[in-house]
Chains A and B, each alone.
Chain A
Amino acid sequence: MKYIDEYRNKDLILKLAGHIKKSALAGYTFMEVCGGHTNAIHRFGIPSLLPENIRLLSGPGCPVCVTGKDFIDKVVSCSGMENVIIATFGDLVRVPGSYSSLEKERASGSDIRIVLSALEALDIARKNPDKRIVFPAIGFETTAPGTAVTILNARKEGTDNFSVISSHKIMPPAMEAIIKDGTSIDGFICPGHVSVITGSHIYDFIAGKYNIACVIAGFEPVDLMQAVLMLVNQVNSRKPAVEIQYNRAVTHNGNDLAKEYMQSVFEPCDARWRGLGMIPGSGLRLRKEFGNFDAERILAPVSSLTDDDGQCICGDILRGIKTPADCPLFGTSCTPDNPEGACMVSGEGACNTWFKYKING
């Protein structure tokens, strides 16, 4: 398949592995903050191709994982209301809230449907004019423009029963929070598809103010290996910068059209990230003029105020200070079949990925 197979060329991968080994003279800690990267790194066995002195950490890059229990509670609350259809991305269905999950509610009779796109949710709204459709909008800057386009479509065609409950988030404030938190990071493997939308300049402050190397990487093994080599070289040269490895899709400026859509419908707000707490300006909420598509305003769903995660350490895992193996629940009472926390539910979550792909002893 074009733009995939060429980047799985074993010769190139081996060549890059050789160069990384020669160049990696010290110890390096690189963090990725993208669920797609978490998945790709482990799916292709990248750690097994790197020397032991390079450590890869997984940060808060999985949009499902960083979604707090309160958001799940609100969606669950909506699902229990009369004449409501929840049209949601599949990953959200199994995430436990404070007292229930969408999967459990579906088993009890709530109308919960899986969609692959906000546009499909809008289609459900058109076909069910007597129901209120609620689309839980999760995802980062990659996904928010699509939600924005859908809301604009809904407004244009008058599909007033379509609504969104937004948990969209943006990356840079979270990356800064991780840095300020004190996790020792030599470089970031920056999110590939967020950067397609935003452009590479959003990471300038990381290299400029914090002297941390940044490389925006693609998702194939060649991309990831090349990005690691570029990070090692940046660290070795003590010249942190923002470099684009994924130049076939990412530019300095990003996608202006997509950004315009996103900014016309959403505005920044404070947002709660699982594990990181409240981060100012890190979320996206619907602008006032789109209030009639705002499910929170229309339905006033309730959520539990508890922040108690019990023994689940998803928070520490998302900050990169602990690994899934450090969690007392990992693999015992918390498994993909029976997840305690979001990191185990989502296919991009660190715990789910470790469980799926981790080499045992």
Chain B
Amino acid sequence: MAEKITLGHGSGGRLMHTLVTDVFLKHFGTEGPLTDSAVRCQEGVIFATTTDSYVVDPLFFPGGNIGKLAVCGTVNDIAVSGAVPQFLSAAFIIEEGLPFEVLEAVAGTMAEEARLAGVKIIAGDTKVVEKGKCDKIFITTSGTGWLKPGLEYISTGEKIKPDDKIIINGAVGDHALAVLCARNNFSFKAPVISDCASLNHLIRKIISGGIIPKFMRDITRGGLAAVLNELAEMTGSSINIDEEHVPVNEPVRGMCELLGFDPLYLANEGKFIAVVDPSDVSKVMEIMRNDELGKQSAVIGEITSGNKNIVTLITPAGGRRIIHMPSGIQLPRIC
């Protein structure tokens, strides 16, 4: 194992998985599959709980800021388990010298996003460290929601079977590009805003529309490739994805062609995949496409009965290749 932590260890890919397994799980003894939120039952009550830290650089970018990410990201982790997000806590580590107006802007955004998502921020903590000991502000949010009995399988995907279809609610890569542009280090501008959004209302519409997805996960660091590989590994499935059906907005395509990025590996903050029974596809697509956050929804692939734990991509040329778990080389501090 490496001697020192590198940026790769925090980027949501293979390296980070190794760190989590070899250090945290080893010591904490946490059982069960690694899902977006932990679903547990205590005294007959089923709840989902999650925690996430936000270190995005820069703090403000087209479509949002670190505060918006901190609320949406945690709301989404709860929502994709099928639970209804209820409460958040928010802990702040602030660098000495940060202007109050920045903190006000961030807090104001968090309040607004919480209101839109229908969650309450009920606990928090504040630390201030000396200048140079953290970069402006880091935020950690934890969230809790209640899950109806019988929905626990949504997080683990244990009911998935061959022919089930994989649906995404829109285009990938917008968040990564918006943040890259805002960094101003590079000489390019893209007409893109982050897709950062709370997905719980859309997910609720699907469930109250009578469809219980067999699996859901939101797509953040490591991109679609990470989520698909996690799904394949967790369930022992084989997955086929049709590259031409994965929505990618043109500015993101252009950036990827030039910089050699693969849109499947770029970070998002308002996208999730749902795995559904083939008979449910048209109903789910109708519900999703009628929602603001699902207008570009698409069926991107399916579970197959091929090589287990493998995600295969059918390329625009009709060729085939494997999509691997992302390695450590991702854009740092993208969320």
A and B: direct contact (Cβ < 8 Å)?
A: yes
A347 to B324, CA, bound (A): 14
List the B residue with the shortest CB-CB distance to A353: B321
Query: How distant is the Cα of A23 from the Cα of B86 in the complex, in angstroms?
Result: 66
Q: Establish whether residues A360 and B310, one from each chain, have CB atoms under 8 Å apart when the complex forms.
A: yes
Per the bound structure, the CA–CA distance linking A103 and B14 in Å amounts to 18
Given contacts A44-B316, A336-B327, A337-B15, contact A116 B321 (CB under 8 A): no
By beta carbon, the residue of chain B nearest A335 is B327
User: Which residue from A46, A336, A355 sits with its C-beta under 8 Å from B319?
Assistant: A46
Complex interface residues of chain B between 236 and 252 (CB less than 8 A to chain A)? 250
A25 within 8 A of B: no
Residues in A neighbouring B2, C-beta threshold 8 A: 338
Interfacial chain A residues near B260, Cβ < 8 Å? 39, 347-348
In the complex the two chains form, is B185's CB within 8 Å of A113's CB? yes
Q: Which residues of A contact B27 (CB under 8 A)?
A: none
Kindly state whether residue A302 has any CB partner on chain B within 8 Å: no
Please, which residues of chain B bring their CB within 8 A of the CB of A94?
329
User: What is the CA–CA distance of A120 and B188 in the complex, to the nearest angstrom?
Assistant: 11
Docked CA distance A4–B253 (Å): 11
> Assuming the A-B contacts A1-B250, A116-B187, A357-B321, are A221 and B316 also in contact, with contact meaning beta carbons closer than 8 angstroms in the complex?
yes
Known contacts A120-B186, A337-B328; is-contact A46 B317 (Cβ 8 Å) = yes
Contacting residues, chain B, for A114 (C-beta < 8 A): 185
Q: Mark A275-311, 1 if CB is under 8 A from B, else 0.
A: 0000000000000000000000000000000000000
Q: How far is the CA of A13 from the CA of B317 in the complex (A)?
A: 7
A8 at the interface (CB under 8 A from B): yes
Smallest CB–CB gap between B80 and chain A, Å? 27
Q: Is the CB of A356 within 8 A of B319?
A: no
Chain B CB within 8 A of A359 CB: yes
Q: How many residues of A contact B (CB 8 A)?
A: 40
Q: In chain B between 293 and 332, which residues have their CB closer than 8 angstroms to a CB of chain A?
A: 307, 310, 312, 315-322, 324, 327-329
B328:A45 contact, CB within 8 angstroms = no
Query: Counting CB contacts under 8 A, is B26 at the interface?
Result: no
Least Cβ–Cβ distance between B151 and chain A, in angstroms? 34
Measured in the bound complex, the distance between the Cα atoms of B257 and A183 in whole Å is 32
Identify which of A10, A107, A338 contacts B318 (C-beta below 8 A). A10
What is the CA–CA distance of A192 and B167 in the complex, to the nearest angstrom? 38
Interface members, chain A 336-361 (any B CB < 8 Å): 336-338, 347-348, 355-361
The answer to whether B8 has its CB under 8 Å from any CB of chain A is yes
**A49 is an interface residue with CB less than 8 A from chain B:** yes
Chain B window 214-241, contacts with chain A (Cβ cutoff 8 Å), 1 for yes, 0 for no: 0000000000000000000000000000
Known contacts A44-B319, A46-B319; is A337 also within 8 Å of B187 by CB?
Answer: no
A4–B254 Cα distance when bound, in Å, is: 10
Give the B interface residue count (CB, 8 A): 33
**Contact string against B for A residues 82-95, beta-carbon threshold 8 Å, 1 for contact and 0 otherwise:** 00000000000010
Known: A8-B316, A116-B186, A360-B322. Contact between A1 and B15, CB under 8 A?
Answer: no
- Whether B6 sits at the interface, judged by CB under 8 Å, is yes
Contact, CB under 8 Å: A45 / B324? no
**In the complex, what distance in Å separates the CA atom of A358 from the CA atom of B322?**
6
A313 to B187: give the CA distance in the assembly, Å.
38
- Which B residues are CB-close (under 8 A) to A81? none
**How far does the alpha carbon of A113 sit from the alpha carbon of B184 in the complex, in Å?**
13
On whether the beta carbons of A43 and B14 are closer than 8 Å, the reply is no
Evaluate contact between A120 and B316: CB separation under 8 angstroms: no
Q: Choose one: B6, B18, B257; the contact of A103 (CB below 8 Å).
A: B6
Tell me the complex Cα distance, A250–B33, Å: 53
Q: How far is the CA of A359 from the CA of B238 in the complex (A)?
A: 13
The contact of B6 among A10, A44, A107, by CB within 8 Å, is: A107
Nearest residue, chain B, Cβ from A41: B319
Which of B8, B18, B329 has the most A CB atoms < 10 Å from its CB?
B329
Q: Which residues of A contact B329 (CB under 8 A)?
A: 94, 336
CB distance from A209 to the nearest CB of B (A): 35
**Alpha-carbon distance A337/B330, docked complex (angstroms):** 11
Cβ-defined partner of A49 (8 Å) among B187, B310, B319: B319
Within B55-103, the residues touching A (CB, 8 Å) are none
- On whether the beta carbons of A337 and B310 are closer than 8 Å, the reply is no
Docked Cα-Cα span, A337 to B187, in Å, equals 28
Assuming the contacts A1-B250, A337-B15, asked whether A360 and B317 have C-beta atoms less than 8 A apart, the reply is no
A31 to chain B, nearest CB (A): 20
Q: Which residues of A contact B321 (CB under 8 A)?
A: 42-43, 45, 48, 357-359
Task: Please measure, in the bound complex, the distance between the C-alpha atom of A287 and the C-alpha atom of B321, giving whole angstroms.
Answer: 45
| List of B residues within 8 angstroms of A361 by Cβ | 307
Q: Within 8 Å of chain B (Cβ to Cβ): is A14?
A: yes
C-alpha gap A123/B328 in the complex (Å): 29
By beta carbon, the residue of chain B nearest A123 is B187
Bound complex: CA of A149 vs CA of B57, how far in Å? 32
Asked if A1 and B186 sit within 8 Å, CB to CB, the answer is: no
**Is A45 a contact of B319 with CB atoms below 8 Å?**
yes
Contact in complex: B317, A337 (CB < 8 Å): no
Indicate which residue in B188, B257, B320, B328 contacts A4 across the interface (CB closer than 8 Å).
B257
Provide the bound-state CA to CA distance between A115 and B187, in Å.
Answer: 9
Separation of A48 and B313 alpha carbons in the complex (Å)? 12
Instruction: Contact check, A44 vs B317: say whether CB atoms are below 8 A apart.
Output: yes
Cα A360 to Cα B238 with chains together (Å)? 13
0/1 per residue, A106-140, Cβ < 8 Å to B? 01000001111101100100000000000000000
* Nearest 3 interchain pairs by C-beta: A45-B319, A221-B317, A336-B327
**21 residue pairs A–B, Cβ–Cβ below 8 Å:** A1-B254, A10-B316, A13-B318, A14-B318, A43-B321, A44-B317, A45-B315, A49-B318, A116-B187, A120-B185, A120-B187, A221-B319, A335-B327, A336-B328, A337-B13, A338-B2, A348-B260, A355-B324, A357-B321, A360-B310, A360-B322
Knowing that A45-B321, A123-B187, A359-B321 touch, tell me 4 more A-B residue pairs with CB under 8 angstroms. Answer: A46-B319, A47-B319, A337-B18, A337-B328
